[in-house]
Chains A and B, each alone.
Chain A
Amino acid sequence: EAGVAQSPRYKIIEKRQSVAFWCNPISGHATLYWYQQILGQGPKLLIQFQNNGVVDDSQLPKDRFSAERLKGVDSTLKIQPAKLEDSAVYLCASSLPGAGETQYFGPGTRLLVL
């Protein structure tokens, strides 16, 4: 079974530029998450989707971050404009719906903002 796919794997941009990340979850997984993992920290949830609807975006910095999952399958996360402190790994995860379901992570996109 194919896992969670993410692209690009690496991205280097200058501050104030825009960047977008793409995620394709495991087939059949209705729930999709975006996490930010700063070096030396655990992953921090940014946004959770259930199908194409947002369930929780309370920790998403909405002044610069946006995410969508228009058809309820793949998703994009955008940062505009990027700041130095956005340098991190952006992880996408998916799961079957319901509390306690295992989340499966993609390989992540490593972002460096210069």
Chain B
Amino acid sequence: RKEVEQDPGPFNVPEGATVAFNCTYSNSASQSFFWYRQDCRKEPKLLMSVYSSGNEDGRFTAQLNRASQYISLLIRDSKLSDSATYLCVVNDPGSQGNLIFGKGTKLSVKP
């Protein structure tokens, strides 16, 4: 079965905190990995792609462990505006660009 599993959440953290989200995927043949962000009652938007060597975009760091089929997202110095649901996404191998979304982890950053 094609699955992406995420931390259930919700995560409630104070401003300035560091928070980490984890995700596992079931199909070892997946080759593309992403984190999407979805604000309340809005559409998902690409936050960042995840590369094998790990990658960083400002306060956001994504890591991939292919052997463990594990993806992580680290947010440093949390801002109120980081409050959203974070969706772990992997490609469906054998399809033509289809994506499999996790259920998402809700983050709430408090003042």
Interface residues of B in 39-84 (CB under 8 A from A): 42-46
Residue of A nearest to B104 (CB): A42
Could you tell me the distance in whole angstroms from the C-beta of A25 to the nearest C-beta in chain B?
A: 13
Contact check, B97 vs A45: say whether CB atoms are below 8 A apart: no
Number of interface residues of A (CB under 8 A): 25
Total contacts A-B at CB 8 Å: 59
Query: SS class of chain B's interface: helix, strand, loop or mixed?
Result: loop
- Give the chain B neighbours of A100 by CB distance below 8 A: 31-32, 91, 97
Number of interface residues of B (CB under 8 A): 22
**A50 near B: Cβ within 8 Å?**
yes
Residue of A nearest to B34 (CB): A102
- In the bound complex, CA of A33 to CA of B37 (Å): 18
Contact check, A107 vs B97: say whether CB atoms are below 8 A apart: no
Contact check, B103 vs A40: say whether CB atoms are below 8 A apart: yes
6 of the cross-chain contacts (CB-CB < 8 Å) are A44-B101, A50-B96, A55-B96, A99-B31, A99-B96, A106-B43
Query: Interface residues, chain B, CB within 8 Å of chain A?
Result: 4, 31-32, 42-46, 87, 89, 91-92, 95-104
Query: Interface residues, chain A, CB within 8 Å of chain B?
Result: 31, 33, 40-45, 48, 50, 55-56, 91, 95, 97-103, 105-108
